[in-house]
Amino acid sequence: MSNNTKAERYTRIYTQIEQLIGATNNPYSRMATISALLHHKMKGYFWTGFYFLDGDDLVVGPYQGPVACLKLKKDTGVCWAGINTGKSVVVPNVHDFPGHIACSPLSQSEIVVPVRNHSGSVVAVLDVDSRELSQFDDVDRIHLEKIVQLVYRA
Ligand code: SME
């Protein structure tokens, strides 16, 4: 898929999510809808879902794909890096990322995007894994950063 096609697809998904999420402001219902749409409409998405902070823990939220780790060891791996820095993390090869947590041995590349609540605090991350190396780039990052803003939008 060319980057233009990919961007167009993300734009269509954004509009669709925007229309659907108006039904409720419950963030978990919105996360579930976002995971389902992205997972089934984007190519190369092998695992698509959210991890959210629960006290000191980072635990799995709504997702699509194979069964994943329920809780991620504190301050370890890609999801915690997204939580702790408040920045998106694009990992072309998960084997090169120190501390990467492999919920599935099939995942080869990954993107993590922080989710902020109404007050601007990072409360969760969107995590997408692919079975292909270097699946994600700036086009994915920019569009996913926009999509996750819909989780807590008033
Ligand atoms: N790889 C992630 C763990 C979650 S799974 O990929 C679904 C990490 O290193 O934080």
144 part of a folded domain: yes
Q: Which atom of ligand 1 is nearest to the CA of 68?
A: 7
CB within 8 A of 54, min separation 6: which ones? none
In this prediction, residue 121 carries a pLDDT of 98
Q: Is 127 helix (H, G, I), strand (E, B) or coil?
A: strand
Domain that holds residue 41: 3-148
**Probe ligand 1: pick from 52, 71, 79, max atoms within 8 Å of CB?**
79
pLDDT digits (tens, 9 = 90+) for 3-19: 889 999 999 999 999 99
Q: Is 37 left (phi over 0), alpha (psi -120 to 50) or beta?
A: alpha
pTM: 0.96
pLDDT score of 4: 82
Domain of 107, CATH number, reads 3.30.450.40
Candidate from 58, 67, 73, 78 with most ligand 1 atoms within 8 A of CB, to mutate:
78
In a domain, 9, yes or no: yes
Q: Let me know if residue 130 belongs to a domain.
A: yes
Task: Say if ligand 1 is within 6 A of residue 130 CB.
Answer: no
Decide if pLDDT at 2 tops 90.
no
1: pLDDT strictly greater than 80: no
Spatial CA neighbour of 147 closest among 1, 5, 9, 18: 18
Specify the number of domains making up the chain: 1
Name the closest-CA residue to atom 6, ligand 1. Answer: 103
Q: What tokens does 128 get? A: 């997408």
Would you say the CB of residue 20 lies under 6 angstroms from ligand 1? Answer: no
CA of 101 to the centre of ligand 1 (A): 5
How far is the centre of ligand 1, averaged over its atoms, from the C-alpha of 41 (Å)?
21
What is the distance between the alpha carbons of residues 108 and 131, in angstroms, rounded to a whole number? 5
Judge whether 134 lies within some domain.
yes
In-domain check, residue 118: yes
